Amino acid sequence: MRISGWIAVSAALIGGLASPASAEEKPLWEAGLGVGVVSFPEYRGSSKHRTWVLPTPYFIYRGKILKTDRGGVRGTFFDSDRVELNLSLSASVPVDSSNDGPRRGMPDVQPTVEFGPSLVYNLWRDKERRDRLDLRLPLRAAYSVRGGVKYAGLIFSPSLNYNAAVFGNSGWYFGALAGPIFANARQHKYFYEVEPRYATPERPAYRASGGYSGSQLTVSLSRRFDRFWLGGFVRYDSLHGAAFADSPLVERKNGWMGGMGVAWIFGKSDKTVDAGSDD
């Protein structure tokens, strides 16, 4: 497996699991290793699914500025009682256009990385801070990372994120995240435009424009045991009404993605900090 694909799949698995928060003392860092399986379309709107099983690192760092948890890598540049300014990261996998499908004969889609600021506003939380509802406002720039770094557009994905402890004090956490997606023309062109030189009778030329990119709903369930972590997620993706919905490269207007993983935590720091319940 290409290293870029491994990174993107790991990001998909970890990024599908939202992070609850409650104040308690925890180690500054924890490290482990596990295995994960994730199944998802090659790109949003594709009818072809990939299922990968791969080793998945487990690393949590609870620094004052830099944090890593099940929500990804976050650089907290501003943090008040209700508002945070974090670093948002994401990635996409490469698409091989040599296979049968709507992209046959077109250039391969190179993997991308996305990063940018994310403003998080807490709308509600309980007294123990185990249950909470947040408004997330991430704005990320995408760059292709193979054959040179090239700008691939902007993505804005506002969402409501709900996290709660479930089944009493069992240690299980439920997460739900939902919201629309918007992107500029450069991002939509990267995945959905068909230049005239690649047009065929079955695949007419198509010029992509920016705007609404559809919506997503993700639900997750996870639990941290003494030395193990277990989690899984399911994501529903809708392209109905998207600016690129009429592209001949869009085969389906809806799709599913899911994954689960288990990790063994083999190391942690002696130093503890006041941290959120990110297990």
What are residue 19's phi and psi, to 5 degrees? -110, 115
pTM > 0.75: yes or no: yes
CATH architecture of 3-270: Beta Barrel (2.40)
Summarised one tens digit per residue, pLDDT across range 226-274 is: 899 898 999 999 999 999 999 999 999 999 999 898 999 999 999 988 7
Tell me: pLDDT of 140 over 80.
yes
CA distance 19 to 174: 9
Summarised one tens digit per residue, pLDDT across range 44-66 is: 999 998 888 888 878 888 776 66
If one counts every other C-beta atom within 10 angstroms of the C-beta of residue 226, the result is 5
Q: Is the dihedral of CA 69, 139, 163, 258 positive or negative?
A: negative
Residues 6+ positions from 63 with CB-CB distance below 8 Å: 28
Mean pLDDT of the chain: 85
- In the chain, where the domains are located: 3-270
String of DSSP letters for 200-259: -SSS--B----EEEEEEEEEEEEEE-SSEEEEEEEEEEE-TT-TTTT-TT---SEEEEEE
CA distance 248 to 45: 10
Q: What confidence score (pLDDT) does residue 252 get?
A: 96
174 vs 56, residue with greater confidence:
174
Q: What confidence score (pLDDT) does residue 50 get?
A: 87
Summarised one tens digit per residue, pLDDT across range 63-96 is: 766 666 655 555 566 567 788 888 888 888 889 8
Structure tokens at 242: 């998207």
Summarised one tens digit per residue, pLDDT across range 179-223 is: 999 999 999 999 999 999 999 999 999 999 999 999 999 999 999
Q: What confidence score (pLDDT) does residue 191 get?
A: 96
